[in-house]
Chains A and B, each alone.
Chain A
Amino acid sequence: QQKVQQSPESLIVPEGGMASLNCTSSDRNVDYFWWYRQHSGKSPKMLMSIFSNGEKEEGRFTVHLNKASLHTSLHIRDSQPSDSALYLCAASRTGGYKVVFGSGTRLLVSP
């Protein structure tokens, strides 16, 4: 059964610091990865997607993907208290397969 593993489970970073989150899929046929952010009491919202090997940057957020190891990472620089949330990694195969989520990394940015 396809699994998505995320680490660490929780992370505390100071305001202005760098947060690094990791995600690995156990399914060798996975082609697509996404990162979602879920603030407390809200529903998940997509933050970034990455489908090709390499790096993608959007503002303070950078995502990396290594398809050979099925590993993706999300890096948040200059972290803000508003970045405090549950970060969920999701993965899927080509061909209309289900989207599977990891259990998340809970990030707390301390002022």
Chain B
Amino acid sequence: NAGVIQTPRHKVTGKGQEATLWCEPISGHSAVFWYRQTIVQGLEFLTYFRNQAPIDDSGMPKERFSAQMPNQSHSTLKIQSTQPQDSAVYLCASSLGANTGQLYFGEGSKLTVL
């Protein structure tokens, strides 16, 4: 079991560029979560999928952020027109079910916007 895999581990973009982050959840897990972590804001919920369907995207900045889960083994988080305030560690997590509790986190993608 390789755990949740996130790529890239580090990404540096210029202001206004696009960034796409990838997540491969643990095989058999039906729920996938995206979070953003900064020193100031802590671990912020962005969005979550259950059985590939989007369930709650209430944490997503609406205009520039989008997330998809085209198949059960792959989710993406896309940020258009990146801004310096988007700099953070983006964490993907999966779990067996939405309420069976334990989230397994990937190692994160550290995004730096210059």
Residue contact A96 to B55, C-beta cutoff 8 Å: yes
Please give me the residue from chain A that is nearest to B41 by CB atom: A103
CB proximity to B under 8 Å, residues A77-105? 88, 90, 92, 94-104
Output the least CB separation between A90 and chain B (Å).
8
Interface band, chain B: 20 to 34
Count, A-B residue pairs, CB within 8 A:
60
Q: Is A46 an interface residue (CB 8 A)?
A: yes
Partner of A98 from B33, B101, B102, B108 at Cβ < 8 Å: B33
Q: Is B103 an interface residue (CB 8 A)?
A: yes
Interface string of B3-33 (1 = CB under 8 A from A): 0000000000000000000000000000101
Alpha-carbon separation in the docked complex, A72 to B99 (Å): 18
Q: Interface residues, chain B, CB within 8 Å of chain A?
A: 31, 33, 35, 41-43, 45, 48, 50, 55-56, 58-59, 91, 98-99, 101-103, 105-108
CB proximity to B under 8 Å, residues A54-68? none
List chain A residues, Cβ under 8 A from B45.
Answer: 98-101
Residue contact A95 to B42, C-beta cutoff 8 Å: no
Q: Residues of A within 8 Å of B, CB-based: how many? A: 24
Residue contact A43 to B108, C-beta cutoff 8 Å: yes
Residue contact A44 to B99, C-beta cutoff 8 Å: no
Residue contact B103 to A98, C-beta cutoff 8 Å: no
The 8 A-B residue pairs with the shortest CB-CB distance, nearest first, are: A103-B42, A96-B98, A43-B105, A101-B43, A46-B102, A98-B56, A49-B101, A98-B45
